[in-house]
Amino acid sequence: MSSEPTDAIARYAALALQVSTRCVNTCPDIQSARARMLENVAHIRALVLGSKAFIRQFSGMETRLVVLPEYALTGFPMGDTVAAWRTKAALAFDGPEYAALGAIAADANLYLAGNAYEVDPKFPELYFQCCFIIAPSGDVILRYRRLISLSAPSPYDVWDAYLDAYGLDGVFPVADTPIGRLAAIASEEILYPEIARCHAMRGAEIFIHPTSEIGTPNASPKEIARRARALENQAYVVSANSARLEDIAIPAESTTGMSKVVDYMGQVLAEAAPGGESMVANATIDLAALRANRRKTGLTNMLVRQPFQAYAESYAATVFHEHNHLLESGTVRVPEPGELQSWQQADIDRLAKQNRI
């Protein structure tokens, strides 16, 4: 767990910033794609600074945490090879995009969380989808790489090498900060309770959830899952959705609305409407109340009542999705187009023969 040794800030505003993305899919070359990414960062900067000022004026609360939507700088790959998307859209640790995002966090004096595709120097052949948290210092203090994906390589595909590089706490990182113990959940992974649970086991109190999902008035799977993950882990969820995805071959407002802050009892504190950019999904985070809730006795303290050891053997003895697909004799390889989807079919065939599904 990474730590910042400063006094806790017990109450503050958190904002799930519903912002549009001009995607890089139609950019004709790398230079124009990179320029567009920095344009998106500049747009985010204006909205962060303006929203922080308005929330302070309106509610008297200082905004200490802003969460951006999934892949807010680029949009997502549509048929691009791993090599092409890595070159076109993946961020470098020391690249201008992270520097510009760090400047937003520093100038606004807040924690800025988001999601981007990035290249890891330890796995230069690939890219990972990364949830990041940037401190007010401008430094990235947390990187969580999405584990479950049908469209991007993940640490699970190079599992042994990734554990050698980062250890299990690097797979499920938690940042201990003055605004609470922060962890990240990437988009669709809100549907997988084990992701949130592994963070909670390491002390996570606030889940940042960058997402880019369908906007609907119905109880979508992710909408149900957001509240479930908050309740079962007694944690806040700050979930930011894309307002629009522009310059991409899907209708722009297929992703809209749904941005919200959920408290540790699974109750929605604030939610942005569909149809455009919004700062309405902001609410007060009360760390003292959360910690008191986790430290009381009674039936409603579900987290401390969990008999994890009772489950451990079942998990250890069961393989559903295979790992290390992109490791061959310890060497990382690049997946072929469509290969990630073929792994899922192979898992289905194997599990069906075992009568497990």
- Per-residue pLDDT tens over the stretch 185-194: 999 999 999 9
Judged against a pLDDT cut of 90, whether residue 198 lies above it is answered with yes
What is the reported pLDDT for 3? 52
Judged against a pLDDT cut of 60, whether residue 6 lies above it is answered with no
Judged against a pLDDT cut of 80, whether residue 2 lies above it is answered with no
Whose CA is closest to 311, among 142, 198, 170?
198
**Mean pLDDT value across residues 35-63:** 98
Judged against a pLDDT cut of 50, whether residue 5 lies above it is answered with no
**Mean pLDDT value across residues 100-114:** 99
Judged against a pLDDT cut of 60, whether residue 9 lies above it is answered with yes
- Domains along the chain? 2-316 (3.60.110.10)
**Mean pLDDT value across residues 294-319:** 96
Amino acid identity for residue 174 in this structure: V
Q: Concatenated DSSP letters for 330-347? A: TEE-PPPTTHHHHHHHHH
Using pLDDT thresholds of 50, 70 and 90, give the confidence band for residue 79: confident
Q: Concatenated DSSP letters for 174-215? A: -EEETTEEEEE--GGGGG-HHHHHHHHHTT--EEEEE---B-
Segment among 2-6, 245-249, 322-326 with least mean pLDDT: 2-6
The percent of residues above 90 in pLDDT, for the chain, comes to 94
Segment among 36-45, 170-179, 244-253, 278-287 with least mean pLDDT: 244-253
**Mean pLDDT value across residues 210-232:** 96
User: Residue 18 gets which letter from DSSP?
Assistant: B
What is the reported pLDDT for 338? 87
What is the reported pLDDT for 337? 87
pLDDT in tens, 165-175: 999 999 999 99
The 10 Å CB-count burial string (b at 16+, else e) for 11-34 is: ebbbbbbbbbbbbbbebeeeeebb
Cβ-based neighbours of 24, under 8 Å, separated by 6 or more: 33, 36, 37, 74, 75, 88, 89, 247
Using pLDDT thresholds of 50, 70 and 90, give the confidence band for residue 4: very low
What mean pLDDT, rounded, does the chain reach? 96
Strands 327-328, 331-332: pairing is antiparallel
pTM of structure:
0.96
What is the reported pLDDT for 135? 99
